[in-house]
Amino acid sequence: MTLDTVKHAAETPDTDQPWAELGLKQEEYERVREILGRRPTGAELAMYSVMWSEHCSYKSSKVHLRQFGEKAPETDALLVGIGENAGVVDVGNGFAVTFKVESHNHPSYVEPYQGAATGVGGIVRDIIAMGARPVAVVDPLRMGAADHPDTKRVLPGVVAGIGGYGNCLGLPNIGGEVVFDACYQGNPLVNAGAIGVMRHEDIHLAKASGAGNKVIMYGARTGGDGIGGASILASETFDDSKPSKRPAVQVGDPFQEKLLIECTLEAFAEKLVVGIQDLGAAGISCATSELASNGSGGMRVELDDVPLRDSTLSPEEILMSESQERMCAVVEPAKVDRFLEICEKWDVTATVIGEVTDGDRLEIYWHGEKIVDVDPRTVAHEGPVYERPYARPEWQDALQGDDAAKLARPANGDELREQVLKLVAHPNQASKSWITSQYDHFVQGNTVLASPEDSGMIRIDEESGLGVAIATDGNGRFAKLDPYHGAQLALAESYRNVAATGAKPLAVSDCLNFGSPEDPAVMWQFAEAIRGLADGCQQLGTPVTGGNVSLYNQTGEAAIHPTPVVAVLGVIDDVARRTPVAFAEEGQLLYVLGDTRDELSGSAWAQVIHDHLGGLPPKVDLERERLLAEILISASRDGMIDAAHDLSDGGLVQALVESCLKGGKGARVVIPEGQDPFVTLFSESAGRAVVSVPRSEELRFTDMCGARGLPATRIGVVDGDTLDVQGQFSIALSDLRRAHEDTIPGIFA
C-alpha cells in the first residue's frame, strides 16, 4: 500500500476518504481541503477529525462560553484563566492552587472501571501540566435509577475505578456527590476534579517556543487502546447503531502515572522544561498541535520515534491513540540529557520525537516521508464554530406551570415523621458511605475535611495552617425547570458549601453536561445555563478559571436533564478554625440563617414522596448568598459557631438528620411561631444554613447577624439521642441511622 504522503495527497485529489466515519461533517471536510489547498493525507484527516470533534474543539459551545471572559469579575487572585490545561489562583503566602473538573461520561458507560479510572488520570495530568503537585481529587457522579439493573453494573465499576486509580496515586478523594435519576439511565455522568499546589514561580504553560528546542514524549508507550476514544465517544449521541459505540476505552495504569508525576515534578524543580502538555483526548494530535499553536514557531515531529506497545499501528492510529499516562515536554538542547536521566531514574520511557522550528508549520514525518504539513492553529484553535439554533422548548411553560403547590402535604405529625424517614432513606438523600469508604480520604496526612462534609478541605502549608476547600454541586432538576436560575443555584450551593466550612470562595471551574447541541431545546438550555453562570460569577466575584463541556449526553432522542456541575474553590487562613457539619456538644443552640419560604417545586420532597418534577425552582438571591458566606466565615474564624450545614436537598430536616448522625447527638427543635411545620422542615429555599452556637457566643453571634441584616432564627438545641420536633414527632437517632445508612448497601453491596 502506498504511503499517503503530502506529495501523494496533492497528486491524488479524488481519492475517497473516510471523513464521515471519523465524525466530520461534509462541510467540515470541505473546509479542511480549502485550508490545505488539497485533500488531506490520512494522517492529517485523523488529526483534524479528533481535534475538530465536539469534545476537543467546543465548536457548538464557543459562542456562549465567551461570556465567561466578557463578564469575568476583576480579581487579583486569578493567575491563569481559561485556555490553559487548568486555572490557577493565588491563595496567599506565595502559594498558588490549580483546579479543574472534566467529564469521562460515555467511556465510563461502555467500560465503567477503566472509563472512570482514566477520567481521574486525565484530570490529574492536567494539574501536573500546570507545574503543580496534585493533592486531592473529587468525583461528582450522576447515575440512573438506583434500583435499575444497569446502574448496578455501572456504579460499582465506576466507584472501583475512581478509588483504584486515585488510591494508587496516593491522592485523597475529599468530595463530590452521587445523584440517582432515571434521566441518566443510558448516559451516566462521571465527572472528575483535581486540585494541585505550587509556588507562583513554578507555573508552567502549554507552549512550544525557541527554535531548536527538543520535543520529548515521555511516559507510557503508545498502544491501540482508546483510538478516537474520548474525542469521538463524547461527540455523538449515544446510540448502539453509531460508530461512536465502538472505539476502545483507554486503559489506565496508576503506578505509571505516579512515576510520571514524580518525574515531571523533579524536571520542573531543576527548571528543565520550557513548555509542557499532557496527552489526553486526541493524544499526539492534540499535544503537538496545541504546543506548536501556542508557541512562537513551528514543529517537526518524527513519528517513527514514538515508543509503541503495538508495532502494527498505522501513523493515523498513532496520532489518534488516547493511551494514558503520556506527556510531551519542550526542552532546551543543553538540558535534554539531564531530562532523560531523570526519566530513566523514575523508570519512565522518554524519547526525543521532534524539535521546535522557526517556521509556522507542524510537519510530521513517517519512514522519512512527510505525512502532515499543516498550520497548527487550524488544527488546534481555528476549527469550526457553530451558532447552533436554539429555542425555548414548547413544553417549558407547561412544566413550569405544574407547581408542587398542588401536591398533597402531610396533615399531621405522624405523616411528617413518616415522610422524614422516607426522605432520608431515598438513595439521593441516604448516606453514601458505602461508596466513599472505597476511597482513601486521608492519604498524605493533609486532609482536614472530606465527604460527607459540606466541602472537602486540604492543608497546603503545615507551618501556617493555610488550606483550601472545594465543593461541587449541580441540581439537574432545578436546571430542567429553569436553566438560567438552575445554574445559579448550583453556583450558589457550591459557594455556600465552601463558606460553611469557614473558607472564602475564590474561583470556579465547571463541567457542563447537556444533551445534543443539534436539538434547539437542548441548545437553549445550554445557552441559558451559561448566561446564568456567567452572570452569577460576575455578581459573586468568582471568575470561571476553566472547565469542560460535555454534549451529546443522551440516548436516542432522550436527553439527560441539563446538568451544569459547578466547583467552587475557597481559601482558609488556618485549617484549625474550619467548621464541620457535626453537632458534637450538647446544650449548643441551633439557629437557621436566612429566610424560609414555601419553595417545594423541584425539591427532594416532591421527588421522593410524589415522583414529581414541575414548577419553578427556589428563588436566587446572590447578594444574600454573599452575606451568608461572610457571616459563616467570620463566625468560623472568631469561634462563634461549632458546626454549620448548608440547607439544600431535603431542606432543614435533611441537614438536621445529617448533622445529628455525624456528631452522634440529637436535637430538640421548635417550629417558630407562625411557620408551617412542613414548609419549615422540607422547603429548599436557597441562601440558608443551620449552625450550632455555644451559649457563651449567642449574644455576640446574634449581634453580628443583626448588624449585618441577616435573619437568624433560633430553632432549638443540641440534646439527647432523638430528633424531636416538638409538638410534631420524635425519631430516635438509631432509627434515623438505620434509614439513612442501610439504603445504598442494600442495593449495591
User: Is the distance from CB of 545 to CB of 86 less than 8 angstroms?
Assistant: yes
Among residues 55, 64, 485, 645, the one annotated as catalytic is 55
Q: Phi first, then psi: what are they for 158, rounded to 5°? A: -65, -45
| DSSP assignment letter at 681 | H
Query: What is the C-alpha to C-alpha distance for residues 17 and 27, in angstroms, rounded to an integer?
Result: 14
Among residues 64, 104, 426, 485, the one annotated as catalytic is 104
Least Cα distance to 35 among 386, 378, 381, 385 occurs for: 378
User: Is the distance from CB of 216 to CB of 287 less than 8 angstroms?
Assistant: no
Buried b (16+ CB within 10 A) or exposed e, 545-583: bbbbbbbbbbbeeebbbbbbbbbbbbbbbebebbbbbbb
Per the annotation, the verdict on 55 as an active-site residue is yes
Query: What is the C-alpha to C-alpha distance for residues 293 and 298, in angstroms, rounded to an integer?
Result: 8
Element (H, E) at 150: helix 149-169
User: Is the distance from CB of 649 to CB of 599 less than 8 angstroms?
Assistant: no
| DSSP assignment letter at 395 | T
User: Is the distance from CB of 614 to CB of 403 less than 8 angstroms?
Assistant: yes
Query: What is the C-alpha to C-alpha distance for residues 85 and 197, in angstroms, rounded to an integer?
Result: 14
- Report the Cα 509 to chain-centroid distance in Å: 7
CB-side neighbour CA atoms (13 Å) of 592:
26
Query: What is the C-alpha to C-alpha distance for residues 727 and 729, in angstroms, rounded to an integer?
Result: 6
User: Is the distance from CB of 512 to CB of 526 less than 8 angstroms?
Assistant: yes
Query: What percentage of the chain's residues is helix, strand, coil (to nearest 5)?
Result: 40, 25, 35
User: Is the distance from CB of 505 to CB of 622 less than 8 angstroms?
Assistant: no
Query: What is the C-alpha to C-alpha distance for residues 528 and 134, in angstroms, rounded to an integer?
Result: 33
Active site residues: 55, 104
